[in-house]
Chain A
Amino acid sequence: MIVFRNVSLAYPASGALALDDLSVRIHKGEFVYLVGHSGAGKSSFMNLVLKRALPTRGEIQVAGEPLARYRGRRTALLRRRIGTVFQDNLLLEHLSAYDNVAFALRVTGVPGREWPARVGTALRTVGLEARAHARPVQLSQGEQQRVAIARAIVSDPPLLLADEPTGNLDPDHAREVLRVLQHVNLRGTTVVFATHARDLVDTFRHRTLTLRQGRLVRDDPAGGYAL
């Protein structure tokens, strides 16, 4: 699903490498943790996959296509195939949970008659069908993050990137969000989950990639890490 071949990334602003000669392959249907201390390069990895940053060196493929193919208008098409959940849930405060999820369908031109069924399914998947009409402020942070997940999966993307989605949450809510993501993964979506919460990684074991200063220092299918 994701292939990095000798990828390095240096942000124009700073001289140092955010990612250093990274080669990794994430397969379809996998659930993968991406761990590392602050500044290790987890978000940089996500940014590269989303084409929000361009690699300084190396090649990246997503869903079998080199990212270089997604140029101009097609960048939007790439992003439609990737669901994203960030630490900041990026919900629109003036919209209800339902409308926030439907927003993803609206901006990609999905006809309105398909919304109720698809939004309903997505909200059910995250266990929030009863709160469909609540605004973000009326929801707990864990619930807000689940709305964000519903928005990320409503267009059935083959890939979901979660960048510290539990960063703002207490342990209970964090676990709840992780369970939802695992559920999404079981339906066939490839999930990359960046975190520095050891307890989560310890509780639910998945393949774990450890980054340190932009280098991949450990890749353990059994869930071991080198923090």
Chain B
Amino acid sequence: MTYHFRQALLAMRGNLTATLGTLTTMTLTLLMLGGVLLLTLNVNRTLEGLESQVEVAAFLEGDADGAALLEQVRAFPGVREARLVSREDVLAEMTRDYPSTAEAVSLVGNPFPDTLRLRVGRVEDSRPVAAALARLPGVEDVEYGAGYVDQAVRTLTTVRAAGYGLVALLFAGTLLSILNAVRVAMYARRREISVMRLLGATRGFIRTPHVIEGVLLGLLSSALALAVLVPGYLALAERVAAFAPVFPVVRDLGALWLPLGAVAGLGILTGLAGSLLATRRYLRELE
């Protein structure tokens, strides 16, 4: 094993350009991946926060049967909870929150209708649920606090998808770079390899140093990417938390562990897959 390891290091040093090239592309790819994963994590956290707040309200006509409507609404797909608030309760609530309401009421009487208040499971559901409510007989008007949420969700998911697309492209580039590096390394050893084959070395034996080379490249890139990503992200998160506390930036290590682990794991996996592929192809060409 030490022999294979030494051969791997020799191969990497012997083809420094290819090694450094691969290391650079791979580190950048992993950085990008890490960035997108962390962004996703935060987007998801933000959406969860929004979801728990999104409420849909249906204002009922004066003669509507609130209890019957409540039963109907509870059966809607996407509705997590629903309750009926009587016009008196609404008034009490409003008077508590805005004391000036009391004066107005003394002039015109209680202007508030009976109201159905719903929470939806996912933000995306608020629009269809609102539309369905509006079609019910006895519902005068519908309001959902989160027209803007809808728009935000769409933007964020688009950004996220674009990020993943970019990362996929970068991974393809990284893979090609590894294939090239391993090929160059094997080509430089072609005489030795042909002697090995003649002496009866197995394919596995011939491949091992180059597979180690690939895994080492993956490990190194992962380490480099994490070395930039972790402090960079934590510093950024601290700033955001300080200056824009409305965004619930993820800073607990329990949640960060997964995306960071994915960066390290994918780095090593890409190195392994690339070198396995390259060595197999090279040895087949020799047959």
> Which residues of A does B touch, CB under 8 Å?
50, 73, 76-81, 84, 90, 92, 103-104, 106-109, 151
- Assess A73 versus B202: contact at CB under 8 Å? Given A92-B191, A106-B3: yes
Residues of A within 8 Å of B191, CB to CB, are 90, 92
For the complex with contacts A107-B199, A107-B201, 20 further pairs of A-B residues with Cβ separation under 8 Å are: A50-B198, A76-B197, A76-B201, A76-B202, A76-B203, A77-B200, A79-B200, A80-B200, A81-B200, A84-B198, A90-B194, A90-B195, A90-B198, A92-B191, A103-B199, A104-B199, A107-B196, A108-B199, A108-B200, A108-B201
Chain B at the A interface: SS class: helix
Closest to A92 in B: B192
- Please tell me if the beta carbons of B200 and A107 are within 8 angstroms of each other in the complex: yes
A199 to chain B, nearest CB (A): 28
Cβ contacts under 8 Å, A80 to chain B? 199-200
* A-chain residues with CB within 8 Å of residue B202 when the two chains form the complex: 73, 76
Q: Is the CB of B201 within 8 A of A92?
A: no
User: In the complex, are the beta carbons of B200 and A103 less than 8 A apart?
Assistant: no
Q: Does B205 contact A (CB under 8 A)?
A: yes
For chain B, residues 183 to 213, give those with C-beta under 8 angstroms from any C-beta of chain A. Answer: 191-192, 194-203, 205
Give chain A residues whose Cβ lies under 8 Å from the Cβ of B197. 76, 79
Q: Contact between A109 and B205 (Cβ–Cβ < 8 Å)?
A: yes
Are A79 and B203 interface neighbours, CB within 8 A? Answer: no
Q: Are A79 and B195 in contact, with the CB atoms below 8 A?
A: no
Contact across chains for B3 and A79 when beta carbons are under 8 A apart: no
Residue of B nearest to A83 (CB): B199
For the complex of A and B, 10 pairs with smallest distance between CB atoms: A80-B200, A107-B201, A79-B200, A76-B202, A104-B199, A76-B200, A107-B196, A90-B195, A107-B199, A108-B200
The smallest C-beta distance from A194 to any residue of chain B, in angstroms, reads 16
Q: For chain B, residues 120 to 166, give those with C-beta under 8 angstroms from any C-beta of chain A.
A: none
Q: Which residue in chain B gives the minimum CB-CB distance to A157?
A: B200
By beta carbon, the residue of chain A nearest B199 is: A104
In the bound complex, CA of A50 to CA of B196 (Å): 13
B279 to chain A, nearest CB (A): 15
- Is B201 touching A73 in the complex (CB atoms < 8 A)? no
Complex contact A79–B205 (CB within 8 A): no
Task: Report chain B residues within 8 Å CB of A108.
Answer: 199-201
**Alpha-carbon gap, A121 to B68, bound state (A):** 100
Q: How far is the CA of A51 from the CA of B10 in the complex (A)?
A: 31
Nearest-neighbour CB distance to chain A for B240, whole angstroms, equals: 56
- Would you list 14 pairs from A and B whose C-beta atoms are within 8 A, ordered by A residue? A73-B203, A76-B201, A79-B197, A79-B198, A80-B199, A80-B200, A81-B200, A92-B191, A92-B192, A106-B3, A107-B196, A108-B199, A108-B201, A109-B205
Q: Tell me how far the C-beta of A8 lies from the nearest C-beta in chain B, rounded to whole angstroms.
A: 21
Q: Give the chain A neighbours of B196 by CB distance below 8 A.
A: 107
Closest residue to A73 on the B side, CB-wise?
B202
Instruction: Give a binary string over B56-81; 1 marks a CB under 8 Å from any A CB, 0 the rest.
Output: 00000000000000000000000000
Closest to A82 in B: B200
Instruction: A116 to B211: give the CA distance in the assembly, Å.
Output: 30
Hey, which chain B residues are within 8 Å of A81, CB to CB? 200
Q: Least Cβ distance of A43 to chain B in Å?
A: 13
Q: In the complex, A165→B105 CA distance in Å?
A: 114
Nearest B residue to A80 by beta-carbon distance? B200
A54 CB → nearest B CB, Å: 10
B194: chain A residues within 8 A (beta carbon): 90
A84-B198, A92-B195 in contact; A107/B203 too (CB < 8 A)?
Answer: no
Smallest CB-CB separation from A90: which chain B residue?
B195
Min Cβ gap A192→B in Å is 15
Inside 8 A of A78's CB, which chain B residues have their CB?
200
Chain A nearest CB from B285 CB (Å) reads: 14
- Report A89 CB to chain B, min CB distance, Å: 10
State the Cβ distance, B276 to closest chain A Cβ, in Å.
16
The chain B residue with its CB closest to the CB of A105 is B199
Most buried by A among B3, B196, B205: B196
Q: How far, in angstroms, from A170 to B233 measured CA to CA in the complex? A: 72
A104 to B203, CA, bound (A): 15
Q: How far is the CA of A79 from the CA of B201 in the complex (A)?
A: 8
Most chain A CB atoms below 10 A, which of B194, B196, B198, B205: B198
- A117–chain B nearest beta-carbon distance, Å: 19
Q: In the complex, what residue of chain A is closest to B194 when comparing beta carbons? A: A90
